[in-house]
């Protein structure tokens, strides 16, 4: 006799893992089904081993050849994130008649977001850039982080966090397991099992079936629409966003400092007016090689020798929804004229700041992306309870975003996860309590 779960969660990124932890804590029988492996923590914090967590070792790309970073591992892409926390794009939920404000507050506490990250970890280089940018009239501020400064040892977060300072989906995954949830890894879910218009379980590529009263798809912006489509919602993945970004580089002997964390600062002055955010990133050799050389073309290779002196300012845009995710998992997403306009305006400002800071030899890499999202969309293929037209089949992750974000997504994903759990508790008749803050770890 197959085990019957109360809740099956597909994907263990920040959204899915949060739902799983909340439901397990409420005494529900929870199963997490994850495509990736539980990569051991000793792989974190090292450049080459970090690539094992990324889909196609970091070389996943659109049909047009644009690189898109996402992780296939327990804990989701947040495991390799920069730990930057920003609220959702203004008005994004209000426009679809949803109020996420309470859950955003709860998620802030749950993830222990640090609003005043210490200067010693942001680093002298970025603090100097902040001075220069502000003197030019661009308001750069310290970036709030879901990183515990007392544990953080500095350096690039995009290699994974070896000190356990950064919050990721792994924290609620472990909480869920402590409360009795099951986790199966290396299990690629292909569809929900639907009987008489109701989801009753999921099936994996290996042919394994799991049964439960409710199914929550949280396989990320590229994963969930495929599963939803294969389950009988044909329009899912018809278009999507991915927050295209590029780095504008300059070189300066004294600016980058070895322990600067990624995205120590942010400038959100252009978010509402122009649809982009600016943030400095001091690259490790691996990131520099990937973005400047692979992303930008081999003509950048000669500059590689100078990577230690490379300073970059990232422009990340709220891109137009478009493209398509195909049944074989490949996807197309050409940038629109409007997207290019935003990228170029960001580049212009970044160039001005870098020049004023004394950087030389400026160039921008080719655009790439790291936030696939809005491929299912609240208001289109799911309602404001995250439910699809198939009863008891929910979608709760970046794919449910009503629009592309153009901003860091993890805080919002976690808030969505908390909201999803409240909705499920009500459905299943479980008392609703506030989420208690968790200790961060990896
Ligand atoms: C390098 C990098 C840096 C980033 N930095 C930041 C940052 O500083 N701040 C921020 O807020 N955001 C950042 N992001 C973005 C952020 O990490 C993601 O937007 C966020 O993790 C998305 O959460 P999610 O729950 O929607 O899905 P994901 O984190 O993508 O998790 C989805 C999970 O589902 C699994 N999965 C996929 N398909 C299947 C399937 N078919 N069956 C079973 N499981 C499946 C995946 O393995 C994964 O574990 C960054 C992303 C990258 C790649």
45 Cβ below 6 A of ligand 1: no
| Predicted local distance difference test score (pLDDT) of residue 438 | 60
Q: Atom 35 in ligand 1: which residue has the minimum CA distance?
A: 11
Position 16 in a domain: yes
| Predicted local distance difference test score (pLDDT) of residue 156 | 83
Q: Give the span between the Cα atoms of 209 and 333, in whole angstroms.
A: 33
Residue 111 has pLDDT above 70, yes or no: yes
CA-only gyration radius of the chain, Å: 21
255 Cβ below 6 A of ligand 1: no
Residue 5 has pLDDT above 80, yes or no: yes
Range of the domain at 208: 4-428
Residue 91 has pLDDT above 80, yes or no: yes
Q: Give the span between the Cα atoms of 170 and 259, in whole angstroms.
A: 24
Do 28 and 216 touch, CB atoms closer than 8 A?
A: no
| Predicted local distance difference test score (pLDDT) of residue 415 | 98
413 Cβ below 6 A of ligand 1: yes
Render pLDDT for 20-39 as a digit per residue (tens, 0 to 9): 999 999 999 999 999 999 99
Position 231 in a domain: yes
Render pLDDT for 328-387 as a digit per residue (tens, 0 to 9): 999 999 999 999 999 999 999 999 999 999 999 898 889 999 999 999 999 999 999 999
**H or E stretch at 31:** strand 30-33
- Domains: count for the chain: 1
Q: Give the span between the Cα atoms of 160 and 284, in whole angstroms.
A: 12
The CATH number that applies at residue 213 is 3.50.50.60
Phi–psi pair at 286, nearest 5 degrees: -65, -45
Mean pLDDT for 432-437 is 63
Percentage, residues of the chain above pLDDT 90: 82
Position 372 in a domain: yes
Position 192 in a domain: yes
Position 439 in a domain: no
| Predicted local distance difference test score (pLDDT) of residue 255 | 84
Which of 21, 38, 81 best tests ligand 1's pocket when mutated (most atoms within 8 Å of CB)?
81
| Predicted local distance difference test score (pLDDT) of residue 258 | 67
The rounded Å distance from CA 280 to ligand 1 centre is 21
Which of 77, 152, 228 best tests ligand 1's pocket when mutated (most atoms within 8 Å of CB)?
77
Position 211 in a domain: yes
Q: Tell me the pairing of strands 310-317 and 360-364.
A: unpaired
Position 437 in a domain: no
Position 438 in a domain: no
């Amino acid at each position: 006799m197959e085990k019957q779960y109360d809740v099956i969660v597909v994907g263990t990124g920040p959204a899915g893992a949060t739902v799983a932890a909340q439901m397990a804590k409420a005494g529900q029988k929870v199963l997490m089904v994850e495509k990736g492996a539980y990569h051991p923590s000793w792989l974190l914090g090292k450049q080459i081993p970090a690539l094992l967590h990324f889909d196609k070792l970091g070389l996943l790309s659109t049909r047009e050849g644009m690189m898109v970073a996402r992780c296939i591992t327990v804990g989701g892409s947040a495991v390799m994130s920069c730990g930057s926390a920003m609220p959702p794009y203004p008005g994004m939920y209000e426009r679809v008649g949803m109020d996420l404000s309470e859950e955003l507050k709860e998620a802030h506490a749950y993830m222990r977001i640090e609003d005043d990250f210490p200067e010693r970890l942001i680093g002298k280089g970025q603090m100097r850039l902040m001075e220069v940018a502000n003197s030019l009239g661009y308001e750069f501020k310290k970036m709030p982080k879901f990183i515990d400064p007392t544990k953080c040892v500095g350096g690039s977060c995009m290699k994974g966090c070896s000190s356990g300072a950064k919050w990721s989906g792994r924290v609620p995954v472990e909480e869920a397991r402590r409360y009795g949830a099951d986790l199966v890894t290396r299990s690629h879910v292909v569809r929900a099992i639907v009987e008489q218009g109701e989801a009753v379980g999921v099936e994996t590529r290996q042919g394994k079936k799991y049964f439960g009263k409710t199914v929550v798809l949280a396989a990320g912006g590229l994963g969930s629409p495929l599963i939803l489509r294969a389950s009988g919602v044909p329009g899912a993945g018809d278009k999507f966003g991915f927050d295209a970004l590029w780095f504008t580089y300059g070189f300066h002997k004294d600016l980058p400092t070895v322990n600067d964390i990624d995205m120590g600062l942010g400038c959100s002055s252009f978010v509402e007016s122009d649809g982009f955010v600016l943030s400095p990133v001091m690259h490790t050799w691996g990131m520099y090689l990937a973005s400047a050389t692979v992303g930008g073309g081999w003509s950048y290779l000669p500059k590689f020798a100078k990577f230690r002196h490379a300073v970059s300012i990232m422009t990340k845009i709220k891109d137009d929804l478009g493209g398509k995710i195909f049944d074989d998992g490949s996807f197309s997403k050409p940038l629109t004229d409007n997207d290019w306009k935003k990228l170029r305006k960001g580049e212009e400002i970044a160039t001005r700041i870098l020049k004023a800071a004394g950087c030389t030899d400026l160039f921008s890499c080719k655009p790439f992306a790291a936030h696939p999202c809005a491929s299912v969309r609240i208001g289109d293929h799911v309602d404001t309870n995250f439910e699809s037209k198939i009863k008891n089949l929910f979608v709760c992750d970046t794919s449910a975003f009503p629009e592309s974000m153009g901003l860091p997504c993890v805080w919002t994903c976690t808030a969505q996860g908390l909201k999803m759990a409240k909705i499920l508790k009500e459905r299943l008749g479980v008392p609703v309590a506030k989420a208690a803050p968790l200790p961060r770890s990896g």
